[in-house]
Amino acid sequence: MTTDTVSPKDRIIVALDVPHVDEARALIKKLGDSVGVFKIGLELIYAGGLALAEELAKDGHRVFLDAKLLDIEATVERATAAIAKTGAHFLTVHATDRKTLNAAVRGRGDSALKLLGVTVLTNLDRSDLSEQGIDMPPLALVQERARLSQDAGFDGIVASGKEAAALHERLRNFLIVTPGIRQAGTDVQDQTRVVTPTIAVQSGADYLVIGRPITRADDPRAAAQEIAEEIAGAIEAG
């Protein structure tokens, strides 16, 4: 699997982090075809986002359902099967253990749904892991869970730009989806470990998850186009 043939704009996943579907619809309209994928996360999922996902998929858009599933196997399997029916393109699942990952793979069946493992949430540090009884630095756990995800038949993982380079070297034919993107010299807001679109691409990110730099811009479409140009430049520079 490779994103070599995916156009720069189609490598942008825009995070629709808004509380109401009406606001999401307004944003989608403004963005038009300037981005490749619309990400619907937990906030919007619980506010009519699933119906919106289905509607967008029917209209030919790519939808990223950031549902971060984790439960007993039967539940993960059935939830994944239900999500596959919406026509979503990507789904996130916590990559904590083989049982969860295998259940998601069974639930996807022969649908086109791409499964992405959430390895270690980037807000957790070593002391948070130790609270969970895990005595290992976050990056080592990220690498272990990424390998588990690939072994189970997942399509990729979500990883910060800082982790992407280390993962890219070890995992071939595996998608790396990177959030925490900020253009050079812009406001990082509450993100701490940010990378620029150029660095993300150079580190091996296949898709870039971008929220506020696009959604809060005066002209979201122009902001997306500017980022797509930066991605194109980074790809060209190799």
CB of 118 to ligand C5P, least distance (A): 7
Identity of the residue, 77 or 205, whose beta carbon is nearer to ligand C5P in the bound complex: 205
Fill in the DSSP letter of residue 214.
Answer: H
CB of 57 to ligand C5P, least distance (A): 19
Identity of the residue, 66 or 77, whose beta carbon is nearer to ligand C5P in the bound complex: 66
39, burial (CB in 10 Å: exposed 0-12, middle 13-18, buried 19+): buried
CB of 143 to ligand C5P, least distance (A): 16
CB of 61 to ligand C5P, least distance (A): 17
* Contact call for residues 198 and 208 (beta carbons, < 8 A): no
Please state the φ and ψ torsions of residue 183, each to the nearest 5 degrees: -70, 155
Q: Are strands 207-210 and 12-15 parallel, antiparallel or unpaired?
A: parallel
Binding interface with ligand C5P (CB under 6 A): 15, 17, 41, 121-122, 158, 160, 179-180, 191, 209-213
The three-point CA angle 22-122-13 to 5° equals 40
Identity of the residue, 77 or 227, whose beta carbon is nearer to ligand C5P in the bound complex: 227
58 a catalytic residue: no
In the complex, which residue's CB is closest to ligand C5P? Answer: 211
Identity of the residue, 7 or 186, whose beta carbon is nearer to ligand C5P in the bound complex: 186
Tokens of 29: 């309209």
Annotated active-site residue in 29, 30, 39, 68 = 68
Q: Are strands 156-158 and 90-94 parallel, antiparallel or unpaired?
A: unpaired
Give catalytic residue positions. 68
